[in-house]
Amino acid sequence: MATDHEGIAQAPGALPIVGHLLPLLRDPLRFLKTLPSYGDLVRIRLGPQTAVVVCRPELVQQVLLHDRIYDKGGPLIERVGNALGNGLASCPHSAHRRQRRTLQPAFSRTCMREYAAIMTQQIDNLATSWSDGRTVDVAAQMYDFASSTIARTLFRAEFAGPAIDTVTECLPDIFRGIYQQAVLPPLLSRLPLPPNRRYERARNRAWAAVSKTISLYRQDDEPHGDVLSRLLETHDDEGGVLDDAEIHAQIMTLLVAGIESTAGALTWAVHLLCQYPDVQERLRTETAEVLGTRTATWDDLPRLDLARRVITETLRLYPPGWILTRTTTTEARLADVVIPPETTLVYSPYLIHHDARFNPRPGSFDPDRWLPERQHVRGAFIPFGGGARKCIGDNYAMTLATLALSTIVAQWRFSRVDHQPPHIEPRMTLTPQGVRARADCLQAAPD
Ligand code: HEM
């Protein structure tokens, strides 16, 4: 295997000028899965830039735990920063501890209980929106559901309604744009091409809608029991309040980080339950016992065991955050290789989750692998990342997905209508497109 002067294996198949751009745009998952066969660290090329992919769980943990040495950085993070402002997901280590401390209280257990009430209301709307025996566009429905629920968790005031509509309409173009801009050579990403213009327009509209909502909240001065009200009341370590730019960046960050990932997880879960009707029936037995046909609430969570394992296994097979980057701030030593400063490193939950050395039978959907008595390789399940930069919304996402999946399975039977695997468009998250299912109502029709 070819290695470079630093002793890092080089992925084969790089083309002149574009490098590995084509497989990364066309079939990135297949490309990623081939990389561990070349080494524990593998260099890939994106145009003139290169990145080193980290292919073993313990090395990924080393990267995640030393967040000062392996800081946020690389092309994807630069684009995220450009789209969202200097928010929690893209800020450098030097700003991160402070930002995390200001945002963490809005994700406490007490808050989560309050947000669960918003979730239950939105799940109710979702579960009553389908017609018996009709085909449901699962990907589109889950996107609408996740965006309306998360947007309402962030701003609940009635006057924020138009902003919620604008933002949810703009986000798909923002997600697509950030990924395309990250993998395109810088020159191409700056040209006024239609995809670049669409991205700029969407970003500017969403930006303006969030700005307006912040100023309406400031004028209103009423707490609404949502994340924005909490941020407006938050004081930083020096006792100062957060300014509009910081609040704006955090709201945009939470929208972008939360919506597509949670929608993707739910879409994949329904897709898998259609493919594995036996698991769907087992889940229905659980929900019949815990819920009957009512909508799940926060208090049901401890008894929705299988639902949680189904979501967990879905996140293993299809982790929404599938490719993430770091940049070395100093010289670092990883797997006995000296990595120079300003090297872009890539870690991929998808790659780690699909490596049979760390997750046996990686392609099979087996929620029971998450029974408490089963053993796992440390660091081989990382859908929410790890270390100081671990997802702040992990409990929120697990709560929302568990409550939603158990409610809809209690009330509807899903079966597959398409026999083709879903199309996966490479974006910031691993999002399936065009997933459809037939939904049959399990409740007796009213007289
Ligand atoms: C199934 C759903 C979700 C998945 C799979 C997911 C995954 C991730 C991953 C992998 C990271 C770490 C990124 C890195 O290491 O560079 C992350 C960070 C983050 N996530 Fe999530 N996420 C989900 C839902 C959410 C939700 C619902 C929210 C908020 C409403 C959220 C907000 C964030 C934020 C703000 C960060 C940055 C944290 C920091 O750097 O301190 N995520 N997420």
Cα–Cα distances (Å) from 275 to 121, 131, 281, 421, 436, in that order, read 28, 21, 12, 10, 12
Tell me how far apart the alpha carbons of residues 221 and 236 are, in angstroms, rounded to a whole number: 19
Statement: residue 96 has pLDDT above 80: yes
| Residue 383 CA to ligand 1 centre (angstroms) | 9
pLDDT tier for residue 81 given thresholds of 50, 70 and 90: confident
Please give the DSSP secondary-structure letter assigned to residue 19.
B
445 has pLDDT over 60? no
For residue 376, the CA-to-ligand 1 centroid distance in Å is 22
Q: pLDDT (tens digit, 9 = 90+) per residue, 426-441?
A: 677 888 888 999 999 9
For the chain, the structural domain boundaries read 56-441
pLDDT of res. 345: 95
Å from CA of 80 to ligand 1 middle: 13
Residue 55 has φ and ψ, to the nearest 5°, of -110, 10
> Per this entry, what is the length of the chain?
447
- Strand order of the sheet with strand 134-137? 134-137, 436-441, 412-416
Per-residue burial over 331-355, b if 16 or more Cβ lie within 10 Å, else e, is ebebbebebeeebbbbbbbbbbbbb
Number of Cβ atoms within 10 Å of the Cβ of 186 = 12
pLDDT of amino acid 447: 44
Confidence of residue 79 (pLDDT cuts 50, 70, 90): confident
Beta-bridged to residue 41, according to DSSP, are 54
Residue 83 has a pLDDT of: 74
Nearest CA to ligand 1 atom 8: 384
Out of 32-36, 73-77, 197-201, pick the least confident.
73-77
How much distance in Å is there from the Cα of 391 to the middle of ligand 1? 4
Indicate whether 22 pLDDT > 50.
yes
The per-residue pLDDT for 21 is: 79
Nearest CA owner, ligand 1 atom 43: 391
Q: What pLDDT, in 10s, does the model give residues 146-180? A: 999 999 999 999 999 999 999 989 988 988 888 77
Closest ligand 1 atom number to CA of residue 388: 41
Query: Considering only CA atoms, which of 412, 87, 120 is closest in space to residue 274?
Result: 412
Ligand 1 centroid–CA 385 distance in Å is 8
> Contact, 362 vs 356, CB < 8 A?
yes
Looking from the CA of residue 347, the nearest atom of ligand 1 is 15
Q: Kindly report the backbone phi and psi dihedral angles of residue 50, in degrees, each rounded to the nearest multiple of 5, phi listed first.
A: -125, 160
pLDDT band at 125; cut points 50, 70, 90? very high
Closest residue (by CA) to atom 27 of ligand 1?
Answer: 258
pLDDT score of 236: 74
Report phi then psi at 386, rounded to 5. -175, 175
d(CA 293, CA 111): 26
Residue located via tokens 């897709």: 271
- How far is Cα 157 from Cα 175, in angstroms, rounded to an integer? 26
**Residue nearest to ligand 1 atom 20, measured at CA:** 391
**Ligand 1 atom with minimal separation from the 103 CA:** 35
Sign of the dihedral defined by the CA atoms of residues 326, 328, 334, 339, in that order? positive
Distance from the alpha carbon of residue 258 to the mean position of ligand 1, in angstroms: 7
Please state the atom number of ligand 1 nearest to the C-alpha of residue 89.
37
State the CATH architecture for 56-441.
Orthogonal Bundle (1.10)
* Long-range CB contacts for residues 330-334, cutoff 8 Å, separation at least 24: 330/69, 332/66, 332/69, 332/70, 334/41, 334/54, 334/59, 334/62, 334/63
Across the chain, mean pLDDT equals 92
Residues with CB under 6 A from ligand 1: 88-89, 100, 150, 253-254, 257-258, 261-262, 265, 315, 319-321, 324, 383-385, 389, 391-393, 396-397
Q: Are strands 41-46 and 9-10 parallel, antiparallel or unpaired?
A: parallel
Q: How confident is the model at residue 384 (pLDDT cuts 50, 70, 90)?
A: very high
Residue 349 CA, closest ligand 1 atom number? 10
- Does 108 have pLDDT greater than 80? yes
Mean pLDDT of 25-47: 91
Q: Give a three-class secondary structure readout of 80-112.
A: HHHHHCCCCCCCCHHHHHHHHHHHHHHHCHHHH
Pocket mutation for ligand 1, best pick of 391, 399, 403, 429 (most atoms within 8 Å of C-beta): 391
- Cα–Cα distance, 24 to 44 (Å, whole number): 10
Please write the tens of the pLDDT for every residue from 275-314.
999 999 999 999 999 999 899 999 999 999 999 999 999 9
pLDDT at 194: 86
The strand pairing partners of 436, in sequence order, are: 137
Mean pLDDT of 216-238: 88
Q: Whose CA is nearest to atom 1 of ligand 1?
A: 262
CA–centroid distance, residue 262 to ligand 1 (Å)? 10
The pLDDT of residue 412: 97
The C-alpha atoms of residue 289 and residue 282 are separated, in whole angstroms, by: 11
Contact 198, 175 (CB under 8 A): no
Write out pLDDT tens, residues 247-281. Answer: 999 999 999 899 999 999 999 999 999 999 999 99
pLDDT at 356: 97
The predicted model gives 117-131 an average pLDDT of 96
Please give the distance, rounded to the nearest whole angstrom, from the Cα atom of residue 333 to the centre of ligand 1. Answer: 27
pLDDT (0 to 100) of residue 444: 59
The stretch 409-422 carries a mean pLDDT of 92
pLDDT given at position 57: 98
- Whole-number Å distance between alpha carbons of 406 and 283: 8
CA 224, CA 233: separation in Å to the nearest integer? 11
Cα 278 to ligand 1 centroid, rounded to whole Å: 31
The DSSP code for 241 is: B
Secondary structure letter of residue 235 according to DSSP: B
Looking at residue 187, its pLDDT comes to 72
CA of 324 to the centre of ligand 1 (A): 11
